[in-house]
Structure formats: structure tokens, C-alpha cells
Structure 1
Amino acid sequence: MARTLAADRDLLAVIGSTGDTTTGASLDSYDAQLVPQITASSAQSEYGTAEPGRFLQAVPGYTSLPGTAAYSLHTQGARRVSVLIDREGGIPAWQLGRTMFQYLGVLKIAGEPRVVPRMAETLAPIVAEMVAHQMDGFVYMGTPARGAAVARALAQTGFSGIRVLGYPAAGPEFLTVAGSAADGWQIFAPYIDPSAAPVRAFATAYRKRYGSAPPYWAAEAYDVARMVITRLTEADGRPSGNRLYDLLQKGTYKGLVRTYAFDKDYRWWLKSSDVFRYEVKDGRYSYEGKVGI
């Protein structure tokens, strides 16, 4: 599909893909045709062995987001935090969990990381062992289903400290499977709540156009689309792929969610690491606002 789309002479740029696996699989096809590719949600720090030529990552990466989350834990009073990295969660869980633990160390927060294999049938014994180390914070990076099992196991121990769920695991399944054990868990995510004040006008227009409230990531996708359109209008006529990529990569664009500017050294990484905090309350993800350092 990517090869067919990339060969279309009317194609100026691609906004996508939304997932890490499909993004990595499509990079070579777009690069070969000099087509800029901009993702609003795929956050891996690497895609294969070759560096993408015309790729821009308009989202805080898995290795940049945990710094803000760790600082928030510090301000909430956490002094001993354990990080459970579940291999079932793939690369996102590994990169988020490992980087989180590193930032906790920088902040002088004690703790230890634990990594569990995909084949682990139950995580409850590991959770109980981690709780026995007298921690006051618990971080899980993995999947929604296994995250729910961890939440239930943690609740059974009577743990009342700070609980953090990696945002790739913060899906509807976590809420439904964990039940009341989900309440109190915090999520630090790169996407803003569609009902938040900065994107309220967008949400109203979206609802009028499509008849429903916008989902997570919709505002970020809107920002990226507007950024591309803005750069196209700034170009002198129809730009080449290289010209459009240069305009996107070297410029700064103030969107509804964040200001988009890309690191000149790493070329395709978003400079800013805006993070938004959520907390599960009464069985739903409650938006608590932007987290700053």
C-alpha cells in the first residue's frame, strides 16, 4: 500500500502512519520517492537500522516523555519507585520503562526495574514481591490486559502509593478488566484530552462535522495537517519533496496542542516534550492538565 501511494505523482506528503510497526514498514517506500512522512503518534526512537531521510516525528518519543513523568512523581513525593517492564508490551514498554527508571535515578528516587517475559502466565507474584520492598510508587509499562491484571494484584496487596500506567496500556480494556482497581492510576501521555480548553473549538467543529466527540490523537493529527498546509502555502509554487521537507523540518509551527519544531541534530525528533496527565476516577480517564518541569 505504501509503495502504491508513494508512486502517485499527486502525493505531496503523508501524515502517518499511526503505529510503530506500520511506520517502520513504510519509511523506505516514501523515502525512495522523496515523499515527506510526518507521524503524530508513532513514538519509537529508532526504526530499523537506517536513519529515515524524510521523516518527521511530531510527537514526544518514548525516550523523551518519561523525564516529565518522573519529575511529576518526584513532586508528588515519591522516593522509592519500582518499574515493571512487561515484554508483552514490545518496544514501547521497553523504551518507556527503561527511560523512566533512568530519570528516576537522576532525581535520586530509589527503586529497581523488573522485566517479565511475554510467556509469564501471571504477574501477581512479582507484584507482591515488588510491594514487599517498601516502595511508595509503582510503574507498569505493558499492555491494557496485563496492566489490568497488575492493577488487581496490586489492589489485593493493599498498596496505596502512587501508581503509573504507561500510556500505550491505557486503553478501554484496562478500565473494564481492572474494574475498581483501575481507580487512582495515573497516565502521562503525549495526547491532549479533546475536551481540554486549548482544543475546545476544534472539538466543537469536529462534533458538528462528524456527529461525535473527537477521539484521542485527533487534535494532534489536526495540528500536523495544518502544519503541512501552512508550509505548502509558503512554498513558491508546488514544492518538491525535498523542498517541502526542508520547510517542515527547519520551521516552527504553533499548533493547538503544542509548538512543533524539530531538532536539527537528530533531524526528525520533535524538540518539545509536552506531556498531559490523566488519572482514573470512577472508571474513566480524567484529564488533569499539562505537566510541566
Structure 2
Amino acid sequence: MTGPLLPSDPSSIGGHRLLGRLGAGGMGVVYLGRTESGGLVAVKVIQADFAADSDFRTRFRREVQAARRVSSPWAVAVTGADPEADEPWLATAFVPGPSLAEAVGRCGPLPVRSVRVLGRMLAEALREVHAQGLVHRDVKPGNVLLAVDGPRLIDFGISRSADDTVITSADVVVGTPGFLSPEQAQTAGGPPGPASDVFSLGCLLAYAATGRPPFGTGTADALLYRTVHDEPDLDGVGPGLLDVLRSCLAKDPARRPVPERLAAELVEDAPRGSVDWLPEEVVRLIADRSAELLALPDIEPTVAEPSDATGPTESARQEERPSRRRLLALTGGAVLLAAGAGTATWAALRGGGEDDRTAGPRPWAIGVQADLSGGSGAAGRAQEQGARLAVEQFNRRAGRPFELALRTADDGGVPARAAAGAKRMAADRDVLAVLGPTTDDTALAVLGSYDEALLPLLCVSAGGLNLAAQEYRSFLHCRPSDAAVSVPLAVYLAASGAAGPVGVLQDRTGEQYAWESAQITASMLRLYELPLYPRVVPAGTENLRPVVADMLRAGVGSFVYAGDPAGAARVAKELAATGFSKPRLAPQAVLDPVFTREAGAAADGWVVAASFTDPAALPAAKAFTTAFRERYGSPPGYYAAEAYDTANLVIGELVKAAKAKKGGRPSRQELVGLLRRSTHQGVTKRFSFKPEDGSFAGQGVFFHTVENGAFRFLGRAPAPPA
């Protein structure tokens, strides 16, 4: 997906006209560009600060040389580069499709035949890479893009020849933990060879087949250890694929198949250029991404067949509109649509379009998509109540410029229901912004739908880093990420002066959340030069006594648990049984009645970081708390005040837009821009965002503690020094 260019962005680079942003990171920006001949390219531009480093420039020059040497239909082609420019750049053919990571994350694991076809084509790409004397060294789902005519292996940034001098220190692991080989994980084991890429390909195919990495998730250290010592988790891999993956994932490089043999073992009947080997949902995702190109500036539809001067009627175009598979077969990956049908097809694929020319006044509405009836229903209902209170208060204002409605969608915390609810919400042309959903899983299920409709989505409670793994055009994150919420734990411990190493226990029952929390805590502790004693336990571990005993024997002077509230309760009881009363901390997931109920008195004294407040204990929220009690007959739950603030943020920007447009309502796209540039002082915190991606730019982490079996709000958590 593309985002708009920022005022600081150049209009062209190396003869490429820039059309939008494909992504941005710490090292630079990737733009969507257009060549003088009209072709689309991805232009990777490195920041001048990095280019000033001679070693970095040498690595970038090597990336260009490596990528240019690879010629394969399944590897992205280099179209231009200037590694000597003040800001070095590299242009490659643009692939208008999702990454394998996104496709599996959104659509689920691929069937066996799809994985075999994918494996064959990627094995052929690696055969060409290795034939040029190169080793890719970062074969992972994020580095495989799915196009209409097959996958593309991208990012040769750390590829190198067998005789290259390694431009990294001896103890640096190059690659992505969880998708690298044992020889890469063992930095003293010598440089990885071509067999290393085969191992990584095996990890990638296992992920495609099961939806999870074969060595699990967790801290980098834990992943590296399991890669070297543990057998891969291949449960759920179907017949016809299991033996192939086992051979690819052999610990001994000599026992792995070479790409030529692997490609031969994975032969499937999938004609080149066909998408029939992919599930319908993935094909639809590829089609939607391809169709988005029609909305980019100055990309004019190419006439694929002649039409008469008048052209078909709109009803005729509706009848002739092809299926996504047919559309892709006709376009051949270049998104070539007949001029007469291009706009109609784009509108059908995109959905949720605005048309301010509709006669007569239309109601203004904001939506709340939340879990109102499932396992996270308490948080979802609190958000709906907070947003509704804000809307009702606005509608009682004298002289208000419009009446505001609230629309709700109960997804029950189920991703499939969430996706259907998002489509219904997006199809309601009167809904101008949506708050929600409640959980990470449901948020990931709906981000694409809201983005297609350019409908602002403001997440109040979902907080995983995976929400920011891709740049969305209409997303606003109204809270710090889960990782950011864990940062103050290390700040607190650095100020506490506790003796001994900090024990950090990652419970894999907490899945991605536990990994993020443990990883950022460990990183911050190292930044503060505090000694660390990390441990990881498998998911579902009931008896935590041995690991707690081991950590106490190591002399830990404080304890951080990253996992779920039930696991935290077990840890709390084990620590209490030994009389351990030194600092005990946990991230937000533990702030749950399950923890205090199951831990009992052992929970007292624990400190928990969270992205939400207790409005009943917050002086600035006194008026809100009073109004909430009057409206609902009970005190506000967690996230009610945050949703109230978020709704008022939206209302404030709608009022400004109405004044600027003399009573006219803004389009959804206009509202996205207004919201991303806005600031709002709510009763809980100050809201602000990074305009380029909608990520939260304010401070909003709070500490709670447990006293007499109940959580007590302590206030704002300490921030790291600037």
C-alpha cells in the first residue's frame, strides 16, 4: 500500500518521478516511482547520515552489485541505482502484491499444493542466486512478495559472495531470528553457504503451511538457541510436504537438498503466469493491491481493447465486470484495464467510496467496532459506552453544526466476524470514522478493509507491533504500542537500585505479546547496563516452580514477568512462597481480574504498566466519571475514558472541517489527514500522531499496583531520559 509524499520528500530521484511512499524505516524510505517510459518501480533511498559511513556505503554498493547479478523470473529485477549519490538509491521493478507474511497473517496458512508451488519457484530463484556465487542470507516471509504471475524474492541487502570479507563484527548475527540457519545462529561457526538459504526456505515454507515459525516466537536469544538445539515444530504440515521440509531443516548443512533437487521434488502442475495455485482469498488480496494502482496520481489506465465513442453504460459495465482471477489473467500483472471499465472496476474492488455530490443532507456518524459479547467484552463494552457518552454530550450542545449518530458492530472478538463487520461499516457511506477493534487479532483482520475504503480507523486498545508492520493510509494508533508500554519497567528498575540481576521470564503462552514485552524490557535493561537473567518457558507450562527457583538461585534482585495473567498468578505465588518481596513487575496483559483472583495475597506489591488509566482515580477525569455514573449507573471500566477522549478527538476535527467547508462534511480521506495532524488534550492524556503513518506520538503509559487484592492507579509511568 502507498502513502502520500511528505513535503520534505523529493519529487524525483534518478529520473524517476515519485508517486508515493511504500514504506519508511530507520535507514531510509522506499518510494513508488515511475520511469520516463511509464514503468513502475520501487526506489529505495538511504539517508545521508548512513551514507556518510564508509562501511555502510560499501555494503550498499555490494547490495546493488549482488542484486544486478541475479536474473530469475522469481527474483525482483534491478532497474537502476546510484550507490555513489549523496543519498544512495536502488530502483527495482515494482511488485503490486502483499508479502507472504501479510498474506498468511490475513488469510491463514496455505494449502499443501500452494506451498509446494511456492517452494518450487523460490527454489528456482535460489538456484540462480547461488549460481552467481551469492548467498541471500535473509530468506523470510517478509522478503517474498506475491504477484499475479508468481512470487518474487526481494532484498539482497545482506547477500554476499563466498569470498567477500564480512563487514560486521564477529559476534553479530546477520539475518532474521526464526528464519535463519543454525550456522547463522552460531556466529563462531564460519560464514554461511548456500545450504543456509535452503534451511531458511524450509522455515519459510513451514510458516506458509502452518501460519507459525517452526522454531516459535520469543526473544532473539531464545530463537537462536532453539534453531541450533531444538527440532522444528511441523505439526499440521500435510503429507506430500513433511519429508521435504524435514530435509530442508536438517541441522547438518550437508544433509539439505540443493535448490535444483528441491525444485524437482516440489514439481506441481501450475502453469507460469497462473494464479490458480493460490487460495481465492489470497488472489483477492493480490487483486485488490493491483487495483489500488489505478488510484495513484498520473497513472492512466491503458486501453486493452477498443471501445466505441460513447462507451458502455454503467449497468453494462457492472454486468461485464470480471472476477478478480479474470482481471489478473487479463492484466498479466500490469493492471491494464479498458479505459471504459477501469474506474468502475476500481470502485468495485475498493469499496466504500465517497460521493459528496449526493443530493440532500446526509447524517454524520462515527462507528465503534468492538467485542461486545466475547472474551474481551468488558473492554469492548467500556469503549462503546465511552464513545456513546461523548456523542450524546455533543448532541446536547447548543449551536452544534450537525447531529451525530453512533453506529456499532459487535465482532465478538472473532477475526472472521470482525472482517465482515468492517465491510458493513465501510459500506455505510455516512460513517466518517471508526473506533476499534478491541484486540490485535480483530484489528489485523480489518485493517485492510478500512484502508481500502480510506475510512479512518482509530485503535483504542489493540497495541501489538504487528499493527505497524505495514504502512496503512487510514490507521491511527491512539495508544502507545505494547512494546512502548514495557519501556518504563526498565526505567523503574534502573531507579530502584535493586541489587542482583533482573530476572526476565517470557512465558510463550502469551505468544507475540509476551515476546514483544520481554524483548523491549531486555533491550532497555541492556541500555541501562543492568545485569540480566532471562528465561523462556514453553507455551502451556503449568508448573513454573523450577524456572522460578532457577532464577532465584541466580540471585535476581527484581523480577519481570511477560505473559498472561494466569501465568503471572502462578509466578506470584511461587515468589511469595519463598518470601521474595523485591520489585516485581509486569506489562499490561497482567492488569486483569484473573491475576488478582488467582494470585490472592501473593499479588500485592506487583507493579503493572498499562496504556490506560483508572478514570475514577484521575482528577482530570472527575467530570467524565460523574457523567458516566449518571448515564450507566456504574463506574467506568478500563478504556472507557480513552474511548471517550478518542471520540471527542474525532468530533473536534469534524467540527473544524464543518466550519471550513461552511457546513459541508469532509470526505473520509480528508478526515484522515486532519486527524493525523491533530492534537487533543483529553481527560486521560494528550493525543498526537506521526502524520506519515498515524502512529501514536504522545506519552500515555501509566503504572498500577496491587493493594489488598485490588489494582490501584499510581499515575503516569516514568519516561526514559531524552
When residues 117 and 48 of structure 1 are mapped into structure 2, their CA distance, relative to the original with a 3 A threshold, is farther
Matched, 1:26 2:446: yes
* Equivalent of residue 249 in structure 1, options 661, 670, 676: 676
1:49: Cα distance to partner? 5.7
Shift of 1:273: 2.9
1:67 is displaced (CA, Å) by 2.1
Distance 1:219 1:49 in 2: 28
Structure 2, unmatched stretches of 5+, are 1-420
Task: List aligned pairs for 1:59-70, cutoff 5 A.
Answer: 59-70=479-490
For 1:137 and 1:246, the matched residues in 2 are separated by 45
One-letter amino acid matched to 1:251: S
Counterpart CA distance in 2 for 1:285 and 1:112 is 28
Alpha-carbon distance in structure 1 between the residues aligned to 2:479 and 2:467: 15
Q: Cα–Cα, structure 1 residues 142 and 23, in superposed 2: closer, same or farther, change >3 Å?
A: same
SS in 1 for 2:465: coil
Is 1:210 the equivalent of 2:600? no
The answer on 1:269 being equivalent to 2:689 is no
> Does 1:125 find its partner at 2:552?
no
1:88 to 492, 502, 509: 509
Distance 2:589 2:711 in 1: 13
The answer to whether the 8 A contact 1:163-1:186 is kept is yes
- Asked if 1:4 is matched to 2:431, the reply is no
Which amino acid in 1 is paired with 2:530? I
- Measured in 2, the distance between the counterparts of 1:168 and 1:217 equals 14
Report if the CA contact (8 A) 2:485-2:587 is conserved. Answer: no
CA distance in 2, matches of 1:106, 1:263: 25
Question: Normalising by the residue count of structure 1, what TM-score does the alignment of the two structures yield?
Answer: 0.95
Larger Rg: 2
Aligned to 2:493, which of 70, 73, 85?
73
Distance 2:557 2:470 in 1: 41
TM-score by length of 2: 0.40
Deviation for aligned residue 1:48: 8.3
Structure 2 partner of 1:15: 435
Aligned to 1:45: 465
> What is the CA–CA distance in structure 1 between the aligned matches of 2:593 and 2:607, rounded to whole Å?
14
Q: SS of the counterpart of 1:12?
A: strand
> How big is the alpha-carbon RMSD for the aligned residues of Structure 1 and Structure 2?
1.4
Distance 1:64 1:113 in 2: 19
Provide the C-alpha distance between the structure 1 equivalents of 2:483 and 2:568, rounded to a whole number of angstroms.
20
Q: Secondary structure at the match of 1:119?
A: coil
| CA deviation map 1:15-38 (0-9, x unaligned) | 011211111101111111111100
Q: 2:648 aligns with which of 226, 240, 244?
A: 226
| Aligned residue identity for 1:239 | P
After TM superposition, give the deviation of residue 51 of structure 1 in Å.
Answer: 2.5
Query: Cα distance, 1:115 vs. partner?
Result: 1.6
**Equivalenced residues, count:** 292
Contact 1:82 1:135 in 2 (8 A): yes
Higher relative contact order (CA 8 A, sep 6+): 1
Partner AA of 2:491 in structure 1: Y
Shift in Å, 1:284? 0.4
Q: Which amino acid aligns with 2:615?
A: P
Amino acid at match of 1:175: T
Write out aligned runs for 1:115-264 (5 A): 115-195=536-616, 196-235=618-657, 236=661, 237-264=664-691
The alpha carbon displacement at 1:165 in A equals 1.9
Mean CA deviation greater in 78-87 or 205-214: 78-87
Deviation track 1:145-187 (CA, whole Å, cap 9, x = no partner) reads 1111111111122212100122112211111111111111111
SS at match of 2:529: coil
CA distance in 2, matches of 1:199, 1:97: 32
